[in-house]
Structure 1
Amino acid sequence: MPSYTFDLNGKPVSVDAPADHPLLWTLRDQLGVTGPKMGCNLDVCKACTCLIDGEAYTTCVTRIADVAGREVTTIEGLADGDKLHPVQEAWLAHDVPQCGFCQPGQIMRTVALLKKTTNPTDAEIDEIENVCRCGTYFRIREAIKSAAEHMPST
């Protein structure tokens, strides 16, 4: 079985897996990272969203072979020690989560969006397309706008 090495939340990891093995299952089953959730396993709900080299990817349809040598960031890798990422802070300030199942994917997709634009429009926010079963879309939108105001300038 082939071995794949990549950085996970800033630390190098190696896993043995078939090339077409979904990254989601590698993260959860082999590496014990439970932030990315399996919702649909079809690239629809986006609950499994993580960042790969800073871009949002749904890990249920991303092959482990495609992340070899790359940087994978999950929700567990956003905080800096005890200091939460500005998007995580905004989520708490706007009381976004209800059940919380979709929130890691929502947050990761928001982080990727805010890396591209410091002042996202409603249309850009709507392009996130993560499914929230509880329907907290208004609070999500407000949290994204608030987080945008508190993101460090790059």
Structure 2
Amino acid sequence: MNEQISTLPLVARQFCVPLSATRRGARLGRLLATEQLRSWGLPLDPARLIVAELTANAALHGRVPGRSFRLALTMTAEGVVRIEVTDTRGDVLPDRQTSAAAPAESGYGLLLVEELADRWGVRLGPVPCKTVWAELDPATGAGKGVPRSQAGRGVGR
């Protein structure tokens, strides 16, 4: 019998909630995430800043009338916090080049995510959805509110 060893991290804690794709839903997501992180005994920043940006983007750019978005938080046994926001606009993807180059007046949010998170990205599916995710890894100094550029971490991903 062949046994496969899982390379997925062991999830210690999990939280998931559907939210209305409105400004009020984004605010509620930020408040619920803050309380969840507090109950897990984790530092609130920079996670709540990332949650605020990703939920606001879901309400603004990922909005489909009559459909909600989902906020999920997980913490692995090693203390890595993963923030995921899933919306129903898989056809509208965040653009790393645009956000990193010269953002428009409202395009600074993903720069914030880029600076505060250890890793972030986008996963497509299931159709018509996309998930924008960010991870904070205590082994690299995340969760202290110190931007990567000031924490001695490299810019490469």
TM-score by length of 2: 0.28
Tell me which protein shows more strand as a share of its residues: 2
